[in-house]
């Protein structure tokens, strides 16, 4: 028999209604008062909250040991409508969503506790539990309440065994009804899914983590990952989960914790979520908002917003697992020559890139890290070499980790001062970590890295490891966050960053350095971007990477990328088809990074066709930077990611809540990567409702590459035999898409040659290619417009970057008048030479035409008589 829980929480509501909650971040679409309006009036400068949910108060039931919360929901807020996708079921006005914080193992109470009387509800208060524990609560917003709980001293575990509450974790369980979906906690995509509702094997093979396949469900510590299907060491995480029905829980603690999502009776059965946090006291927040974009925005306000990345951080970023290895077959003498040879081939093939990074090995000593230097055998003149790369338009980052390898300066100085965590054999590759909670250890590591950066001109760090038991599991989250902060401070102290991270946000400017990590915990998003770990060079690895990108965004890690082609490669991988499909995915991701090396360098080991795909996708990504960084800027204000789960843009579409192989980029693009061999897939176009009118409504989508085929909401399209040069991407009607060339990167190599040719100094580039068709590089912006007379107004908040004398937001507005057949465009000063291209039909059944106009700052363009592509 289970003992009664000593302290707990149970949520219930007094009123419930489900309503339209569609937020299109990035494009504001205001529908005319038509019978079937296709879109909703919204702007990308804010998140509109339409749920009307309000926290009423809480109460504690001593008899049941249950802490109860109540939320009221105004059904008139935003307009209610009938939907089968309802929230948690009601039992006597008590939600079956129940949280019970208790000592010992989590047990789900299968009976409902009596609801609190509304008269007892208090918006804030404090109670003492029978075991001497304490619960304090207070609402922090209309849709969120924060609870602070401390363990009692006389608690009995639910197994009946005596336990000291000081040693027992604080645990809680939540029950969700059949059909609900759960998201969050981990970037890693369990079974390739974006949800945590899994039924079937989640075996982790020979994982060194504490992940479990028990009951066919994801059960894992917050962190501690190993070799898992699809991707190894995919470990961005946050102690936050939320449901399709609009409830979220954020545990604001870096303490070691385990989250368990237990599905019953298949994917559509009820789900119990439990967490167990090893802490004597705990603060957590319960959120309720049926508008999930508003829910994520509330989470960001309680946790943190992502950093605006450095302009070089969009990529393409080129790297190798071993630049000391001659993979050119041409007898290069050292790593510097190797990297210069890669740069030469990028420029020869006119492949856009913004940075290199050197993975280990690059330093001297054991395991090539810990002496704070470059190995002179392979990097004979590192400062001059990096300065030359900078002149050529490339940033340069290096590998870093909190690892002390035997006989290095880092190890010797740390072991003599007792800074290393015990229990790790330093003769093994693993190497122990420094305890960065010791101020002297932190300062030492930071100061040594700072001197290294100052001496060489390094532009950032690839922050690796942090979850391989090089430290006690219980401190993994704290220690990794300290190292992420340390690496950011190194770059600031070295002078690569002119202002603090807080000041960059206040002044609308990104840092000039770029750090990214595979292991990141919660608020690390304010200091670091993320790549998704060691993805496998298979189509399974590609599909898992798409899912992990979606999942990372739901946790607030907006600037994200994957190892193009996969990291774990066998002798024949990646295949040319897989490499090409992954290049397209990376082009339509926030960050594009690609690994080259022995047997997998496009211009040495593949056909010229693949080199062409690389050139094409790199150019596409560079052209999208104005669009990507505008949404990245908005993410710093709203917490909404650039790469988004479909349900964030189309909340009324039930299928969107399980879609793991397609996403929206901002809200303008629907991207459906090819994640299986053969060039085939089915694309389903999501649908939305409008003010209770039902599904099957807009927006419509235009095939972006050829700009001819238009697809209705809810339609499906069979992609067949798609060539390697193409990928399924669709743009929504009414969209404004800022594109162009606003960050030079390595494009200066061939534009500089063109300038010299124009001056009569030379007629060829260093690679012998003609330069007559090139002009000197200068920033230029092209606004791509896709007007629809069913979308009267679109507002896009554009971010001006370093090409502008005044970085920051600027408005672009397009209006249409269906009666007068008029399209009007107006824009603030966008910081660069700007042109606009409007796509339309030649006639009612004619071909797609593109009209291009200059758009001086402050000028309003008005065009009459155009036939929309969506007519």
Q: Report residue 136's pLDDT band, with 50, 70 and 90 as the boundaries.
A: confident
CB distance 173 to 104 below 8 Å: no
Domains of the chain, start order: 311-513 (3.20.20.80)
Cis omega (within 30 of 0) on the bond before 823?
no
β-strand 66-73 against 53-61: which pairing, if any?
A: antiparallel
Tell me the CA distances in angstroms from 602 to 108, 164, 246, one per residue in order.
54, 60, 46
* pLDDT, average across residues 457-469: 94
Q: Which residue has the tokens 């994957």?
A: 562
SS3 at position 635: helix
Q: How confident is the model at residue 191 (pLDDT cuts 50, 70, 90)?
A: confident
Cis? peptide before 672, omega within 30° of 0: no
Give residue 79's pLDDT band: very low, low, confident or very high (50, 70, 90): very low
Element (H, E) at 498: none
pLDDT on residue 39: 38
User: Residue 469 has what pLDDT?
Assistant: 87
Is the dihedral angle over the CA atoms 757, 760, 761, 766 positive or is it negative?
positive
Q: Please list, in sequence order, all residues whose beta carbon lies within 8 angstroms of the beta carbon of residue 778, skipping any fewer than 6 positions away.
A: 833
- The CB density around residue 237, as the number of other CB atoms within 10 Å, is 30
pLDDT digits (tens, 9 = 90+) for 732-743: 999 999 999 999
Stretch among 258-272, 418-432, 603-617, 669-683 having the lowest mean pLDDT: 258-272
HSE-CB at 635 with a 13 A cutoff on CA atoms is: 31
pLDDT tens digits for range 173-184: 777 888 899 999
- What is d(CA 868, CA 816) in angstroms, rounded to the nearest whole number? 10
Identify whether the C-beta of residue 554 lies closer than 8 Å to the C-beta of residue 183.
yes
Tokens describing residue 55: 């926290």
| 273 and 174 Cβ atoms separated by less than 8 Å | yes
- The reported pLDDT for the residue numbered 257 is 86
Q: Give one word for 724, left, alpha or beta, with left for phi > 0 and alpha for psi -120 to 50.
A: alpha
pLDDT score for 544: 96
- What's the CA dihedral at 278, 280, 281, 284 to 10 degrees? 20
Q: Which two tokens stand for residue 465?
A: 């490891």
Mean pLDDT of 9-17: 25
The pLDDT of 149-160, averaged and rounded, is: 48
pLDDT of residue 72: 67
Alpha-carbon Rg for the chain, nearest whole angstrom, is: 27
| Contact between 734 and 699 (Cβ < 8 Å) | yes
Distance CA 656, CA 687 (A): 9
pLDDT at 4: 27
Task: Say which residues have a Cβ less than 8 Å from residue 80's Cβ, sequence separation at least 6.
Answer: 17, 18, 19, 692
Give the number of other CB atoms < 10 A from CB of residue 438. Answer: 14
Contact call for residues 232 and 568 (beta carbons, < 8 A): yes
Q: Is the peptide bond before 699 cis (omega within 30 degrees of 0)?
A: yes
Q: Is the pLDDT of residue 117 over 50?
A: no
How far is the C-alpha of 666 from the C-alpha of 26, rounded, in Å?
A: 6
* Residue 179 region by backbone torsions, left for phi larger than 0, else alpha for psi between -120 and 50, else beta: left
Residue 425: what pLDDT?
A: 81
Residue 7 pLDDT > 90: no
Of 22-31, 758-767, 822-831, which gets the smallest average pLDDT?
A: 22-31
pLDDT bucket at 220, cuts 50 / 70 / 90:
low
Q: Work out the pLDDT band at 455, boundaries 50, 70, 90.
A: very high
Measure the CA–CA gap between 484 and 608, rounded to whole angstroms: 40
The pairing of strands 461-463 and 395-400 is parallel
The answer to whether 44 touches 795, Cβ cutoff 8 Å, is: yes
Task: Give the end-to-end CA distance of the chain in Å, rounded to a whole number.
Answer: 67
Alpha-helical runs (H) found in 306-418: 335-348, 382-391, 409-415
CA 810 to chain CA centroid, Å, is: 24
Give the burial string for 57-95 (b: 16+ CB within 10 Å, else e).
bbbbbeebbbbbbbbbbeeebbbbbebebbbbbeeeebb
Is the Cα dihedral 445, 451, 452, 453 positive or negative? Answer: positive
**CA-to-CA dists, residue 51 to 237, 292, 301, angstroms:** 27, 9, 18
Look at phi and psi of residue 618 and say left if phi exceeds 0, alpha if psi is from -120 to 50, else beta. alpha
Q: Partners of 795 in the beta sheet?
A: 28, 813
440: how many CB neighbours lie within 10 A of its CB? 9
Show contacts of 610-615: CB within 8 Å, 24+ apart: 610/576, 610/579, 610/580, 610/724, 611/349, 611/351, 612/725, 613/579, 613/580, 613/583, 613/584, 613/724, 613/725, 614/349, 614/351, 614/583, 615/349, 615/350, 615/351
Which pLDDT tens digit goes with each residue over 503-530? 556 657 899 999 999 999 999 999 999 9
Flag whether pLDDT at 76 surpasses 80.
no
Highest mean pLDDT among 465-474, 575-584, 591-600: 575-584
Q: Taking residues 438-444, report their average pLDDT.
A: 99
pLDDT-based confidence at 570, cuts 50/70/90?
Answer: confident
Question: How many angstroms from the chain centroid is the CA of residue 701?
Answer: 24
Per-residue confidence at 592, pLDDT binned at 50, 70, 90?
very high
What is the distance between the alpha carbons of residues 352 and 600, in angstroms, rounded to a whole number?
Answer: 19
Query: Does the pLDDT value for residue 206 go beyond 80?
Result: no
Give me 41's structure tokens: 């009036």
Strands laid side by side in the 9-13 sheet: 53-61, 66-73, 9-13, 98-99
Which residue's entry shows tokens 């189509």? Answer: 539
Looking up tokens 């129940």 gives 98
Report the range of poorest mean pLDDT among 363-367, 423-427, 801-805: 423-427
pTM of the model: 0.87
- Name the strand (E) or helix (H) holding 293: helix 292-302
Contact, 35 vs 697, CB < 8 A? Answer: no
Percentage of residues in the chain having pLDDT higher than 70: 76
Cis peptide before 538 (omega within 30 of 0): no
Q: Which of 105, 170, 97 is nearest to 131 (CA)?
A: 170
Q: Tell me the pLDDT of the chain averaged across its residues.
A: 80
User: Could you give the CA distance from residue 310 to residue 527 in angstroms, rounded to a whole number?
Assistant: 11
Q: Which of 18-27, 357-366, 622-631, 844-853 has the lowest mean pLDDT?
A: 18-27
Q: What is the pLDDT of residue 158?
A: 28
């Amino acid at each position: 028999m289970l003992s009664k829980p000593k302290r707990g929480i149970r949520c219930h509501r007094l009123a419930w209604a489900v309503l339209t909650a569609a937020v299109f971040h990035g494009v504001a679409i205001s529908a005319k008062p038509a019978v079937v309006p296709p879109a909703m009036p919204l702007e990308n400068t804010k998140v509109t909250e339409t749920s009307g949910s309000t926290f009423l108060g809480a109460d504690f039931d001593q008899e049941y040991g249950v802490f109860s919360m109540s939320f009221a929901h105004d059904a008139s807020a935003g307009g209610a409508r009938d939907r089968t996708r309802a929230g948690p079921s009601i039992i006597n006005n008590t939600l079956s969503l129940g949280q019970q914080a208790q000592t010992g193992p989590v047990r789900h109470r299968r009976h409902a506790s009596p609801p609190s009387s509304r008269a007892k509800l208090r918006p804030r208060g404090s109670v003492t539990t029978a075991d001497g524990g304490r619960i304090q609560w207070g609402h922090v917003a209309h849709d969120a309440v924060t609870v602070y709980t401390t363990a009692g001293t006389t608690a009995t575990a639910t197994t009946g065994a005596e336990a000291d509450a000081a040693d027992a974790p604080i645990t809680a369980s939540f029950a969700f009804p059949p059909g609900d979906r759960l998201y969050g906690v981990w970037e890693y995509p369990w079974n390739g899914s974006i949800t945590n509702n899994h039924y079937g094997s989640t075996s982790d093979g020979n994982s060194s983590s504490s992940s479990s396949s028990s009951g066919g469900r994801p059960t894992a510590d917050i962190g501690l990952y190993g070799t898992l299907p699809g991707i190894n060491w995919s470990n961005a995480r946050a102690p936050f989960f939320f449901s399709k029905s609009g409830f979220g829980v954020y545990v604001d603690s870096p303490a070691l914790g385990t989250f368990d999502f237990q599905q019953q009776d298949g994917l559509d059965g009820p789900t119990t979520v439990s967490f167990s946090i090893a802490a004597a006291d705990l603060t957590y927040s319960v959120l309720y908002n049926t508008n999930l974009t508003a829910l994520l925005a509330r989470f960001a306000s309680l946790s943190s917003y992502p950093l605006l990345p450095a302009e070089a951080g969009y990529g393409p970023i080129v790297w190798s697992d071993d630049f000391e290895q001659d993979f050119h077959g041409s007898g290069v003498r050292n790593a510097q020559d190797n990297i210069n040879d890669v740069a030469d081939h990028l420029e020869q093939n006119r492949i856009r890139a913004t940075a290199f990074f050197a993975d280990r090995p690059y330093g001297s000593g054991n395991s090539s890290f810990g002496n704070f230097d470059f190995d002179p055998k392979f990097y004979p003149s590192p400062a001059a070499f990096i300065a030359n790369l900078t002149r050529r338009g490339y940033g340069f980052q290096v590998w870093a980790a909190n690892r002390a390898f035997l006989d290095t300066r880092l190890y010797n100085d740390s072991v003599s001062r007792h800074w290393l965590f015990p229990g790790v054999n330093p003769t093994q590759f693993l190497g122990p970590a420094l305890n960065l909670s010791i101020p002297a250890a932190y300062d030492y590591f930071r100061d040594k890295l700072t001197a290294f950066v100052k001496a060489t001109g390094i532009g950032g760090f690839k922050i690796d490891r942090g979850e391989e038991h090089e430290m006690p599991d219980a401190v993994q989250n704290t220690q990794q966050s300290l190292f992420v902060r340390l690496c950011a401070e190194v770059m600031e102290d070295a002078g690569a960053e002119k202002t603090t991270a807080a000041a960059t946000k206040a002044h609308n400017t990104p840092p000039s350095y770029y750090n990214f990590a595979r292991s990141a915990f919660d608020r690390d998003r304010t200091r670091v971007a993320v790549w998704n770990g060691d993805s496998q060079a298979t189509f399974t690895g590609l599909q898992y990477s798409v899912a992990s990108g979606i999942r990372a965004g739901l946790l607030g890690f907006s600037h994200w990328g994957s190892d193009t082609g996969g990291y774990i490669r066998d002798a024949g991988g990646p295949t040319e088809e897989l490499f090409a499909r992954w290049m397209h995915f990376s082009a339509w991701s926030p960050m594009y990074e690609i690994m080259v090396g022995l047997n997998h360098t496009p211009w040495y080991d593949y056909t010229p066709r693949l080199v062409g795909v690389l050139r094409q996708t790199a150019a596409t990504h560079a052209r999208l930077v104005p669009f990507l960084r505008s949404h990245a800027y908005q993410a710093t204000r709203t917490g909404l990611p650039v790469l988004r789960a479909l349900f964030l843009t189309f909340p009324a579409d039930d299928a969107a809540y399980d879609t793991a192989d397609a996403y929206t980029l901002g809200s303008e693009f629907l991207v459906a990567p090819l994640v299986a061999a053969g060039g085939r897939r089915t694309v389903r176009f999501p649908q939305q409702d409008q003010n209770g009118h039902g599904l099957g409504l807009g927006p419509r989508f235009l095939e972006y590459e050829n700009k001819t085929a238009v697809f209705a909401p809810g339609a499906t399209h069979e992609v067949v035999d798609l060539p390697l040069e193409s990928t399924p991407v669709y743009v929504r009607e009414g969209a404004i898409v800022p594109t162009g060339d606003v960050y030079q990167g390595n494009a200066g190599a061939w534009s500089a040659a063109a300038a010299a040719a124009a001056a009569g100094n030379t007629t060829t580039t260093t690679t012998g290619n003609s330069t007559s068709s090139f002009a000197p590089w200068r920033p230029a912006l092209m606004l791509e417009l896709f007007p629809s007379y069913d979308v009267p107004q679109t507002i896009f908040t554009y971010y001006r970057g370093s090409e502008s004398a005044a970085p920051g937001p600027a408005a672009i507005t397009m209006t249409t008048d269906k009666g007068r057949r008029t399209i009007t465009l107006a824009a603030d000063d966008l910081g660069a030479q700007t042109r606009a291209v409007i796509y339309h039909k030649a006639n009612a059944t004619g071909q797609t035409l593109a009209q291009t106009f200059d758009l001086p700052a402050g000028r309003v363009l008005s065009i009459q008589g155009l036939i929309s592509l969506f007519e």
